[in-house]
Chain A
Amino acid sequence: MSTEIALQQAEQLLSTFAKGTAKPEANRLDVTIEGSDLTAAATALQKAHWGYLSALTGVDLGPEEGAIEALYHFCEGAAITTFRVRIPRIGGALPSLQTLYPNAMFYERELLEMFGVTVTGLADTSHLFLPDGWPDGVYPLLKDANAQAAAERASASEPPEMGRQGDKFIVPIGPQHPALKEPGHFEFGVDGELVTSAKVRLGYVHRGIERATQERNYVQNLYLVERVCGICSHSHANAYALAVEKLAGVQVTPRAQAIREMVACLERIHSHLLWLGVAAHEAGFETLFMYSWRDREVIMDLLERWTGNRVNYSANVLGGVKFDVSPEIAAEIRKGMDTIDERTRHYLHVTMDDTSFLQRSRGIGTISQAEADHLGVVGPVARASGVRRDIRTEAPYGGYAQFPVKIVVDAAGDLAARFKVRMEEIFESTRVIRAILDGLPEGELTVKMPRRIPAGEAISRFEAPRGELFYYVKSNGTDMPERVKIRTPSICNWISVLVKAVGSQLADVPPLLAGIDPCFSCNDRMITINRPGRGGQVLTWEDLRRQAASHTRR
């Protein structure tokens, strides 16, 4: 259905609960709701199968206002309905939407620990991102939170007690584990080889980025958000730039849009090739890992030659892009695309036809379409289960209107399907890159961008290689943003791992983990403990050795 109709439908469904409505943009509907009506309103939307819960933003309105605003963003195609719920700053409470939307658990835990909002009915209220030793009562995203003071009071986190819980035998995976490329902690209760329970603890690379954006100007933030993640860095920069440009009312030139799209496609290719290697390695097929990463170097070299860096390309500026496509680079890119096409065809053949590989990927971690819808997964994981969810086709942004992408969907829903979807997406990306090179529009690269962004709120959604990236930017008229909320795709997909791991074999868990293409750096965006003046601890070799052995030495 079209955006207009979707928004009208949403307005009708919520008419009994809405205390006020507003339409800040053509595709957005803001509905003010009381906290007590929240569950009923969300149920109304779910019963009508209107969209999925995409993100939950908390905005601190300041100690003078004495309120926090919780924004629940529901997305259906290109239409976004936002519930605006105002709760008092101290002692505010909200009901949990966990039973309706399993994903809400993660969002609400974040709200809890970052803003001090009590969420009733939440099964697990432990810290999600903040370390265990974080002092109580200090909420980092409140305006008057004193992170330094908290850091002083923070105690060291003890490693979790790893014991038997009743009859359960817990196998810990992470934070240091060969299966994980980034730290995260999982506890799988196993019975022999069968997994009976799964728990996740994130926050090991939490860096305080959302808080940090409030203390830097818009230009500095562009580079800050680019470094949320190494492999989806351009997605972050792009989404942020889109949101800020929307606020400033600036329209980027078609040439810049096309170049942005081209960099995004190159990023998608190298991200999927990296994933292919990692997933193969988790399943035990080291040869595929080595070869796919060798071929990934083609893209990395291209990106280095064109943008100036293999990762963190800093291609964007607010208002356009930094560099142009020269004929030499265009020729090199075309050659690279041919190589990638050939090698990806080979890898598709390997992953789809090799019996020994299929034994580890076919029928593993199958998520049905209904389940995928209910769990709220995004990205290739959703598309591999038959859910047609792709921001590039639902809500085209930037250059995608002129150079569209065909959505790649597979109905099988298992790990093998996820391989297929990502390989096919590589083919789509090479096709789009060639199309852009053939039809690159003429024009300038940048437009003038004001330093002070007018007050307002903007939401931009971007299809990162892992799924939907959600940015909410609130400006207050100065040259520093009021609030930047980054909801990365990986956090939506964790719930599918937790649900699917239970009942599967222990040996299938690492491929399952790898199957959602987790990006822990994207997840954890927040913690800052910089203790200037405290010096820091200098540990000698002896100290390190002693500390490492102390946990196991008798």
Chain B
Amino acid sequence: MKFGTMLRDIWGSVFKKPATQRYPFERLEAPDQFRGTLHWTPGKCNGCCLCMKDCPSNAIELITIDKKNKQFVMRYHADRCTYCAQCVRNCRLECLGMAHDEWESAGLKREDFVVNYGTEADIATLLAKHSPTDAGEPTASGAGPGGGSTATP
């Protein structure tokens, strides 16, 4: 007949610090390996689109401004991304990376989750040409599952 096997635990806890992390007042750092938001550096990309091809959720669109001069804009849908890092692996030129400290990415509007990466000029060109896509609807020009090509909306 044994009672109170956890007695030592509970009485000990009264004198110890609680295990709760008082977020947001106490904020622990995410480890270096953590897969946070995707980032893309425009200079190195050659438009191969391997990243787009294998994305499980069509979160990446590579929009060509000028293929010969390697001017691209990457439209990243942070709300569709599953943070699997397959795109990072696929890219042979190391254009992609996942920021380990960006993980507090809640938002109130769908539009906030569409991020355009590229040089200032390229993004300006893109936005001037086309209006932003409707919230939530996959664009017809986006890469279809299982294969894709550079998109020209």
Q: Which residues of A contact B (CB under 8 A)?
A: 215-217, 219-224, 226-227, 287-288, 291, 294, 297, 304-309, 312, 314, 317, 322-323, 346, 349-350, 353-357, 479-480, 532-533, 536
Contacts and interface: CB of A to CB of B under 8 A. Distances in A.
Interface string B1-23: 11111100110000000010000
A58 B85 CA distance: 33
B89 interface: yes
Given A217-B54, A353-B5, A304 B34 contact: yes
A532 B137 contact: yes
Nearest to B136: A536
A350 B6 CA distance: 7
B82 A227 contact: yes
Contacts of A307: 33
Nearest to B33: A308
B114 interface: no
Contacts of A536: 136
Contacts of B146: 215-217, 220, 479-480
24 contacts: A216-B56, A216-B145, A217-B54, A220-B145, A221-B56, A222-B56, A223-B86, A288-B6, A297-B19, A304-B31, A307-B33, A314-B35, A314-B83, A314-B84, A317-B86, A317-B89, A346-B9, A349-B5, A353-B5, A354-B4, A355-B2, A356-B3, A479-B146, A536-B136
B49 to A, nearest CB: 13
Contacts of A323: 33
B153 interface: no
Interface class of chain A by DSSP: helix
A381 to B, nearest CB: 25
Given A223-B56, A305-B31, A317-B89, A215 B145 contact: yes
Contacts of B98: 308
The secondary-structure label for the interface of chain B is loop
Nearest to A307: B33
Given A223-B82, A312-B84, 18 more contacts: A215-B145, A217-B54, A220-B146, A223-B84, A294-B19, A297-B19, A305-B31, A307-B33, A308-B31, A314-B86, A317-B89, A350-B5, A353-B5, A354-B2, A354-B6, A355-B1, A356-B3, A480-B146
B89 to A, nearest CB: 7
Contact of A219 (B3, B82, B86): B86
A308 B98 CA distance: 10
Given A215-B145, A308-B35, A314-B85, A220 B5 contact: no
B55 interface: yes
Interface in B50-95: 53-56, 82-86, 89
B43 interface: no
Interface string B115-153: 000000000000000000000111000000111000000
A113 B146 CA distance: 28
Q: Which has the most chain A C-beta neighbours within 10 Å: B35, B56, B136?
A: B56
